[in-house]
A and B are shown apart, each in its own frame.
Chain A
Amino acid sequence: MQDVLNQVGINNYIFLSVLLFCIGVFGVLYRRNAIIVLMSIEIMLNAVNLLFVAFSTYHEDAQGQVFVFFSMAVAAAEVAVGLAILVSIFRNIGSIDVSNLKKLRG
């Protein structure tokens, strides 16, 4: 693993993760379909997981990989709640378009 990391370089891993993270951020900000927004959030979290594993190898330290398990479990719980909210919205208004949610305006 160390050889691969040395060949590729830790900086490239960081660039890749930042790129994936930004794709996720723009997905959250610009897409209106709630499912795609959920996927974008997953991309953000998984970009970080990738970077955790890369740093873990870089430092030759297992803590980072253990953290990935925590963050995966948390992401799963989060998405479960998010999908549940989405289902109840779909039952109420028959749409999963985030821009249809404008009952609350000041």
Chain B
Amino acid sequence: MNTLIAITALGVICLIFELLNLRKILVPFSIVALCGILYLNSLDYNQTASYYNNMIVVDNFSVTFTALFIVLTTFLVALGHHFYDDVPEKLSDFVAIKIFLLSGAAAMVSFGNLAMFFLGIEVLSISLYILAASRRLNIKSNESGMKYFLMGSFASGIILFGICLIYGAIGSFDMRVIMEAAVSADVEEWFYIGGILLAIGLLFKIAAVPFHFWAPDVYEGAPALTTATMSTLAKVTAMATFFKLFFAMSGNLPETSQTVLVVLSGLSMTVGNIMALRQANVKRMLAFSGISHAGFMLMTLIGTQISAGTLLYYGTAYAFAGIGAFSVILYVCRHLENEDIVNFQGLGKSNPFLAFVLTTSLLSMAGIPIFAGFFAKLMLFSQVLESGHLALVIVAVVNSIIAVGYYFKLILAMYTKEPQHERTGRPFYIYAVATVALLLNLTIGLFPSLVTDLLR
């Protein structure tokens, strides 16, 4: 609760900083303040409480995921320092929008009432529409913003309809009442229709097949930093919310729902990976890779013993790898028109360290040992195997192998070709974020229990 208030207050303070002409210290200040909020958030660990008539419920699930979101936002704010060099007078707006986006994300994992859930998802989405269209004079950015806006508000309408039907069936928005209704035998069939509509809306937001078609276009057109936000923070948030809602409403779901999930997650991985193979644009490639990772994350919902720890670990590993990769993309494509793989040629010679960070991030996403991505997949697969879905695990393993193919296309371009552009300058924030993301990735890869033990 205090976390949410502190985050919102920080957003407002960022806007006031602009009035006071303190733009120079805005980014360092926000980073320090976000670290403070992270500490404040950690105080709530192991203390379950609910506030404002159960509008907000703070438990270990919400505290750990909020902590992950705060860390990701810190990275994104830090990367913004150099990214908005051409429009310095708008820096505070962008930082403030990112922090408001974080407040939406925090509300989405700590809601105790569907009203709070709806507000959270809308705060997150509206901030992202603004960020996606923020390069006002660039038609690609406009187009990406418009597409994201249309698809996003379409999905919001579906989610709202789902909430309405659930309310109609049980007469309350409270999650406790919903949990009771989910296990009781006699509840109006609107309740289940509402649940399905909610699921469809959230699948839109996490970009899982068959609701993924907007993602590549939006990811490619949006400014690179916004793409980083969408593919790490927004995706993990929507997945965590989906997990929480699924957990609450899965009381007496029929067997077929498991089959649907198995098919959706298998299709997401396969479609995402196969489409990624033939992309020449790195952002587009990572969009398809994100679709396949959405499929992997959906696997956490399958099985009798669904565990939030696995989702947290997978989400953390994926998000840190994404941040590492995008910090390098931001550096390489600072002054360039597009993000084609050609632009990455020779990075291994001109900037060995950044090339190393990008390589490790991609290997982690592909699931090569000692990086966090490998242990995330290992845990996920063994959990799904225990619940007896052997076919899905085989599909997932085959997909992990396909994924290595397109990740290596980028890695080979970095190390075997000669550089085409001069790359000068060593922006401090980009190097710092790349280093920290790499270290965090290695740490949680070597000690997975650091993360998984948080949610037992």
Contact = CB atoms under 8 A, between A and B. Distances in A.
Contact of B126 (A24, A77, A103): A77
B275 A106 contact: yes
Interface string A35-74: 0010001001101100110010011010110110011001
Contact of A67 (B115, B139, B216): B115
A92 B140 CA distance: 10
A81 B161 contact: no
B147 interface: yes
Nearest to B278: A106
A28 interface: yes
A73 to B, nearest CB: 9
Contact of B149 (A81, A92, A104, A105): A81
Contact of B115 (A21, A70, A84, A92): A70
A7 B410 CA distance: 66
A34 interface: yes
B118 A71 contact: yes
Contacts of B190: 14
A103 B143 contact: yes
Contacts of A19: none
Contact of A92 (B137, B161, B172, B220): B137
Nearest to B288: A106
Contact of B129 (A66, A71, A81): A81
A102 B140 CA distance: 9
B284 interface: yes
A55 B157 CA distance: 17
B122, B144, B150: residue with the most chain A Cβ atoms closer than 10 Å: B150
B140 A104 contact: yes
A28, A74, A77: residue with the most chain B Cβ atoms closer than 10 Å: A74
B143, B156, B165: residue with the most chain A Cβ atoms closer than 10 Å: B143
B239 interface: no
Nearest to A29: B154
A89 B164 CA distance: 34
A50 B130 CA distance: 29
A50 B45 CA distance: 41
B136, B137, B164: residue with the most chain A Cβ atoms closer than 10 Å: B164
A58 B153 CA distance: 28
A58 B149 contact: no
A34 B146 contact: yes
Contacts of A59: 167-168, 171
Nearest to B275: A106
Contacts of A105: 217
Contact of A106 (B115, B167, B172, B279): B279
Chain B interface bracket (under 10, 10 to 19, 20 to 34, 35 or more): 35 or more
B160 interface: yes
B157 A37 contact: no
Interface string B199-223: 0000000000000000011001100
Contacts of A74: 118-119, 122, 126, 156
A52 B164 contact: yes
Contacts of A10: 168
A5 interface: no
Nearest to B216: A106
B378 to A, nearest CB: 32
A45, A71, A77, A105: residue with the most chain B Cβ atoms closer than 10 Å: A71
Contacts of A47: 161
B172 A48 contact: no
A84 B132 CA distance: 12
A30 B262 CA distance: 31
A85 interface: yes
Contacts of B126: 74, 77-78, 81
Contacts of A67: 115, 118, 163, 167, 173
B130 to A, nearest CB: 6
A70 B168 contact: no
Given A24-B157, A103-B221, A61 B171 contact: yes
B133 A85 contact: yes
A24 B126 CA distance: 20
A85 B129 contact: yes
A98 interface: yes
A63 B115 CA distance: 10
B156 A78 contact: yes
A101 interface: yes
B315 interface: no
B74 interface: no
Contacts of A8: none
Interface of B: 115, 118-119, 122, 125-126, 129-130, 133, 136-137, 139-140, 142-147, 149-150, 153-154, 156-157, 160-161, 163-165, 167-168, 171-173, 190, 216-217, 220-221, 275, 279, 284
5 contacts: A14-B190, A51-B168, A77-B126, A103-B140, A104-B140
Given A63-B167, A81-B149, A103-B143, 20 more contacts: A14-B168, A17-B164, A28-B150, A28-B154, A45-B160, A52-B167, A71-B118, A74-B119, A77-B122, A77-B126, A78-B125, A78-B126, A78-B129, A82-B146, A84-B133, A88-B133, A88-B136, A89-B143, A92-B142, A104-B140
